[in-house]
Each structure stands twice: as structure tokens, then as C-alpha cells.
Amino acid sequence: MIRLTDVPNAHRPVGRTVQAGRLQRLAQSLRHNMPFLVMASPGALLLLVFSYLPMVGIIIAFKDFRASLGIFDSPWVGFKNFEFLLRSPVLARITTNTLVLNGLFILAGLIASVGLALLLNEVRLKIAARAYQTVVFFPYFISWVIVGYFSFALLNSDNGLVNRALQSVGLEPVAWFSSPQYWPLILTLAHIWKSVGYGSIIYLAAMLDINPEYYEAAMLDGANKLQQIRYITLPHLVPVMIILTLLAIGRIFYADFGLFYYVTRDNSLLYPTTDVIDTYLYRALRVNADIGMAAAAGLYQSVVGFVLILVSNWMVKRIDPDRALF
Amino acid sequence: MAAAFPTRTHRPLSQLSRNKAQLILHAVMLSITVLFLVPLLVVVSASFTDEIALTKNGFGLWPSQFSLDAYNYVLLDPSQILRAYGVTTIVTLIGTVLGLIVMSLLAYVLFRHDFTWRRPMAFFVFFTMLFNGGLVPTYILITQYLKLRNTLPVLILPYLVVPWFVFLLRTYFLTLPKEFVESAKIDGANEWQIYRHIIMPLSTPALATIGLFCILMFWNDWWLALLYIDEPKLYPLQYLLFAILRNAEFLSSNTSASAMLASTQPPLQTTRMAMAVIAIGPVAIAFLLLQRYFIRGITLGGIKGE
């Protein structure tokens, strides 16, 4: 239950009558707001427990955490955990991989989503357009665990489809799960496969807002399809592209754990190009049980992530205040 | 590349060349859709392939030697997958219903201007979208302090309030005509009555859309199980599939099927694929039926993403 503890100027000595008046007003205000407080309480309580209590737990990053002692009784170690993290080669690797791969996803996703939306928008046969859209949207509903099955069926080196296809045209099979150099491409393709349907829906919706008179005027002037796309459609989509990209950049420090964990099948040979902050955190916590390092890396992610969201939102706000998060 | 400026030399395309352009477009779109379906096809075809043929000939778009062995093997003792289906169904049902109630109540409070502390409350909800305590504190809180490891609630509670959905609902409430609430107030309705009898019935489209996204979130979740469940009885569907893919032996570890088939080699590779197909099936059908509601939800949510 939420209580009102913040009584303005409560520390000042005040006359009895004034104080009584205040208390009365407070009681009145509480009575007035009580139904709202009761209605909000289940959701507020859940957020308090599952979002705000973990924020208190951030102090673990500055402690030598021992399960037997609990969070508060574990000894303080200052910045020791961060020193270890900074000295280990893993920090540079997971930071670079997270930024580079997410950057690739943002760029390739933007091009693929806009391109697909442009193509779908030109299909004149409505049934066909709907069928195409159904197929490209479908992967959005498939969990990364299932995509892990797909990557196994396609890429396993013994009898995967891709190696069989390579062999049938006389090429050498590739040991995909021990060749990290291919994975930035494979992960980008997997990301596009899963999200391009969703992205194209947003751009298609934006295209519906374009006044058809622009196209009519352009056709009267003899503009062909490509010119119409170049000079009418794309310029109208630019604001949406910029906003979506900025918002994605705001989240660039958070990786899509499922993609990196299941599609690579958590193969340690691939870590040089596929280990990201989120997979490292999971491994440090659950596999290596290195609580100190995991907590330090987690706080690093939360703080940098927070700054990035603030910066990206500030930029969005300058372009289009209606689309800013806050 | 198009010319720098649209010029008058381009006449509108003739009917014939326009049809040709459409044909090329269809060819491009068809190739894209085929590429998109290949992974799915490969897994489905493997599930209908004979185990030895799969090992010898590899994964293909079509079964090299048709066989129902994998499905027969699963059906020999379907208790494992039925149980996982049961866990996922319960979690999805309870999570979606409870989530909609809790989130709509919160959204209602943030929507009512009569609530004095509306702004601080909105910030309280919103801030969780910007900053979080991270994996380690959350994990320690849930396992050591709340003692929720290997319980059903741990698969539900952390996902009940999605701040983004709360704000979507509030935005939807704001589009409803103000007069409804005002006249109800004049008639002496209290907040519960306004919520229950006015706002909720008027918001069924928004509730249905967000409910669908909640169903998808709970149905496809493996994250909470990966962290907090190691009791096979409580495995949800996605996590069971992960356990099977990671270790084919898990398929037979707690079924009587392995005892029955002790003499023969169980078709592990194809059975895995059959399990994946059985798991995708209902999702695929539901998707085909409900697709347009999801599309509406994405455009309703506007451009702010998932």
C-alpha cells in the first residue's frame, strides 16, 4: 500500500489550528484518492518488487557477494569487481560485439523493412499482397528456441541443408559452428528473417498516410515508378526511419539474448564474434557463478544503456516531440 | 538509377509493360517468401523422414524416405510434451487474464485526472522502462529472498506488468469521449463502477489486442524457465524444446518409451524435429486466424516499437 509521507513543511512549527487544517486536508485528500490508490496497488506492487527492489540490489556490484550472508551482510569491496572486469579481455569483446552486431541489425533491418514495404506496396493483386505479407510476418511468432532448431537443420556440418547444397555444386562444406567469421552475417540474416515483417508493417502504415494527389501529380508530369518512390514515398518515410533508428540506438546496449544464445547454440567456439553483454551476463551468473563480475557488467550495461536512452530520446524530441518517449 | 529530376519525356507506362513489371515484382516476392519458408520446410520434412535416411542423406526440402517413426515415437508416451503444453497453457491463461486486469487498473488510474498523484505514479511506471537493476540482483531477489525457484508463479509474476502496454491502454482510454465518465460521475457512480461498467466495455478492442500480445509473450517465453526452473515437471513448452535440442537423451530420460524401445535405437534426430513441429502447429494456426489483429496492434502502438 502506498502511504503519503511527504507533508510539505512538516518540520516547521505551526499553530494548532493550521496543523489541524492540514491534517484534515490530508485526510480529505486520502479519502478522495483512496479508490485510485487501491486500484493502482497490484500493478504498483509488482513493479516495486520486480523492478525497483532489484535496483537496490545494484550494491552487489560493490560487494564480495556470498549467498550464505545475503546482500546486505556480504563485505564491501569498493570497485574491486570493476577492476577485475576492466582487466579481463572479455569487456572489450562483449562491448564491441554488442555495438557492432546491433549496429548491423539496425542498418540492415532498416533497409530490409523499407525495401519490403515498398515492394508490398506495389503489388496490385490484393490476395497476393496479403499472402506475401502473411509469410514474411510469420517468423515474428516463432520463438528463438525453434529458430535454434532451424539453425541446426540448416547449418550442422554432418547433414545440414546448406552444406549438402554446397557439396552438390562441388564446393567444400563449411564447419559453421566452429567458424566465427561467418556469424555476423548469419545472425543478421536471422534477425532480419524474424523482424522484417514487423518492421515493414510500420512503414506500410506510414505509406497509407501519403496523400494520393502527390502521385497523381507526379504521373501527370510523367514520373515513372522509381522516380515516384525516390521523390515522394521515401521522403515521406524519412521521419519514421529517423525516429525508429534513434529509438533502436537508444537500446543498442541491450542484445536480443535468444538470438545469440539459441541460434549459435551457445557454442563457445563462436564467442569471438557472437558473445554479447547479455550472453556474458547469463554465463557469468549461471555457468561460472562469478557473481561479482556479472553484477559489475550488469551495472555497466544498465548505466550506459540509461544514458543512451536519454540521449536518443532527447534527439527524437528535437525532431518530433510527439514521438518522444517522454 | 532514376534521373535527377522527373522529366516530361517519360510517358505513363503502357498496359503491357506495366503487366511485365507486376510479373517481375511477383517473381521477386515469391522468391523472398520461398526463402522465408525454407527453414520451416526443412524441419517439417525432417520430422517425416526415416532416421537412417536423414543421417545418410541429410536435411532436405522433401523427405528422402518418408516415415512416421518420429511421430509414433512421440505418441508412444506423449506425457512429456502434454505436460509441457499444460504448463504453458496454464501460465498463458492466468498470466494474460491477470495481466490485463492489473494493467488496465493501473492505466485507468493514470488516465483519471481526478487522481492527485497521477504524475508521480506515471513516472513510477515509466522509469522502469529506462533503467533496471540488471540480471544479477533480479536473480538473487527471486531465488534467495522470494524463494520462487521451481514454482509456477515465477513463470507469471515478472511479466504481469508491461509498462509499455499500460501506457498504450491509457492512451486508448484518452481517446474515449469524456462525456461518458462525466455523466457517470454526475449519476453518482464510483471509480470502480466507472472502470468496470464504462471504460472496460468501451475498450474491448484495445484489451483484445494487448491480450494477444500477452498470449504471445507468455506462450513463447523460455527466459524465465531458463533462469528459474530446473524441475522437469514444471518445464514450459519452449524450455522443453530447448532441453531436447541441447540433449537428445532428454527425450527419453523420463518416459517409459525408452524402456519399451530399449532393444531398438530410438529415432532421436527425427523425433526432435517432430517435437518442434508439434510445438509450432497451434501457433501457426492461431497466427493465420489472428494475424490482422496483431497488425492492428502494431499500428495502434504507433511507431514506438514492440
Nearest chain B residue to A208 by CA distance is: B299
Q: What is the pLDDT of residues B196-206, one digit of tens each?
A: 999 999 999 99
Cβ contacts (< 8 Å) between B99 and chain A: which residues? none
For the cut 80, the answer to whether the pLDDT of residue B303 exceeds it is: no
Size of chain B, expressed as the number of residues it contains? 306
C-alpha A29/C-alpha B116 separation (Å) is 8
Nearest CA-CA partner of A164 in B273, B55, B272: B55
pLDDT at site A8: 45
Instruction: Break chain B into its structural domains and give their ranges.
Output: 15-67, 73-300
pLDDT at site B134: 92
Distances (CA, A) of A106 to B37, B73, B105, B124, B270: 23, 43, 35, 30, 36
Cβ contacts (< 8 Å) between A248 and chain B: which residues? 305
Nearest CA-CA partner of A160 in B13, B236, B39, B80: B39
pLDDT at site B263: 45
CB-nearest to A33 from B117, B131, B139 is B117
Give this prediction's pTM. Answer: 0.89
Q: A226: left (phi > 0), else alpha (psi -120 to 50), else beta?
A: alpha
Q: Do A230 and B2 touch (CB under 8 A)?
A: yes
Cβ contacts (< 8 Å) between A259 and chain B: which residues? none
For the cut 50, the answer to whether the pLDDT of residue B6 exceeds it is: no
CB-nearest to B106 from A43, A139, A278 is A43
C-alpha A155/C-alpha A170 separation (Å) is 17
How many angstroms away from the CA of A178 is the closest CA of chain B?
17
CB-nearest to B59 from A33, A159, A302 is A159
For the cut 50, the answer to whether the pLDDT of residue A172 exceeds it is: yes
Cβ contacts (< 8 Å) between A231 and chain B: which residues? 6
How many angstroms away from the CA of B161 is the closest CA of chain A?
6
Interface A-B: count of C-beta contacts within 8 A: 295
Q: Do B299 and A202 touch (CB under 8 A)?
A: yes
* C-alpha grid cell, residue A135: 509469410
CB-nearest to B10 from A201, A223, A295 is A223
HSE-CB for B139 with a 13 A CA cutoff:
23
Q: What is the pLDDT of residues A173-215, one digit of tens each?
A: 999 999 999 999 999 999 999 999 999 999 999 998 899 999 9
Q: With beta carbons less than 8 A apart as the criterion, state whether A255 and A276 touch.
A: yes
Residue A121 burial (10 A CB sphere; 0-12, 13-18, 19+): middle
Interface test with B, best of A141, A196, A233 (most B CBs within 10 A): A141
Q: Which domains does chain A have, with CATH numbers?
A: 16-62 (no CATH), 80-323 (1.10.3720.10)
C-alpha B297/C-alpha B306 separation (Å) is 10
pLDDT at site A305: 95
* Helices and strands counted in chain A (H then E): 16, 0
How many angstroms away from the CA of B115 is the closest CA of chain A?
6
Q: Phi first, then psi: what are they for B49, rounded to 5°?
A: -105, 150
How many angstroms away from the CA of A281 is the closest CA of chain B?
7
Q: Do A139 and B2 touch (CB under 8 A)?
A: no
Q: With beta carbons less than 8 A apart as the criterion, state whether B105 and B195 touch.
A: yes
pLDDT at site B75: 86
For the cut 50, the answer to whether the pLDDT of residue B91 exceeds it is: yes
List Cβ neighbours of A81 (8 Å cut-off, separation of 6 or more): A61, A62, A292, A293, A295, A296
Interface test with B, best of A6, A50, A120 (most B CBs within 10 A): A50
Q: What is the CATH number of domain B73-300?
A: 1.10.3720.10
List Cβ neighbours of B147 (8 Å cut-off, separation of 6 or more): none
Q: Do A205 and B284 touch (CB under 8 A)?
A: no
Q: What is the pLDDT of residues A37-50, one digit of tens each?
A: 999 999 999 999 99
- Work out the pLDDT band at B10, boundaries 50, 70, 90: very low
Q: Phi first, then psi: what are they for B87, rounded to 5°?
A: -60, -50
Q: Do A281 and B283 touch (CB under 8 A)?
A: no
Q: With beta carbons less than 8 A apart as the criterion, state whether B289 and B105 touch.
A: no
Q: What is the mean pLDDT of residues B243-259?
A: 66
Nearest CA-CA partner of A137 in B296, B110, B245, B111: B296
Q: What is the pLDDT of residues A136-159, one digit of tens each?
A: 999 999 999 999 999 999 999 888
pLDDT at site A194: 96
Residue with cell 551468473: A285
Distances (CA, A) of A39 to A36, A226, B110, B197: 5, 55, 10, 15
pLDDT at site B5: 42
C-alpha B129/C-alpha B127 separation (Å) is 5
pLDDT at site B4: 42
Q: Do B39 and A153 touch (CB under 8 A)?
A: yes
C-alpha B298/C-alpha B306 separation (Å) is 8
Nearest chain B residue to A67 by CA distance is: B144
Taking all residues of chain A, what is their mean pLDDT, rounded to a whole number?
A: 91
Cβ contacts (< 8 Å) between B10 and chain A: which residues? 222-224, 227
Nearest chain B residue to A281 by CA distance is: B135
Q: With beta carbons less than 8 A apart as the criterion, state whether B135 and A298 touch.
A: yes
Nearest CA-CA partner of B240 in B271, B216, B286, B276: B276
pLDDT at site B82: 92
C-alpha A144/C-alpha A150 separation (Å) is 9
Question: In the beta sheet, which residues pair with residue A63?
Answer: A76
C-alpha A300/C-alpha A62 separation (Å) is 12
Q: With beta carbons less than 8 A apart as the criterion, state whether B287 and B220 touch.
A: no
Q: Worst-scoring range by mean pLDDT, A8-17, B148-157, B164-173, B177-186?
A: A8-17
How many angstroms away from the CA of B220 is the closest CA of chain A?
5
pLDDT at site B16: 72
Residue A110 burial (10 A CB sphere; 0-12, 13-18, 19+): middle
Q: Do A224 and B2 touch (CB under 8 A)?
A: yes
Q: Residues A239, A243, A248, CA angle at the centre, nearest 5°?
A: 150
Nearest chain A residue to B190 by CA distance is: A35
Size of chain A, expressed as the number of residues it contains? 326
Q: What is the mean pLDDT of residues A225-245?
A: 92
Interface test with A, best of B26, B29, B193 (most A CBs within 10 A): B29
How many angstroms away from the CA of A226 is the closest CA of chain B?
6
Continuous H helices in chain B = 15-47, 51-57, 69-76, 79-111, 118-130, 135-140, 163-175, 178-186, 191-194, 200-202, 204-219, 223-228, 237-246, 250-253, 257-260, 268-300
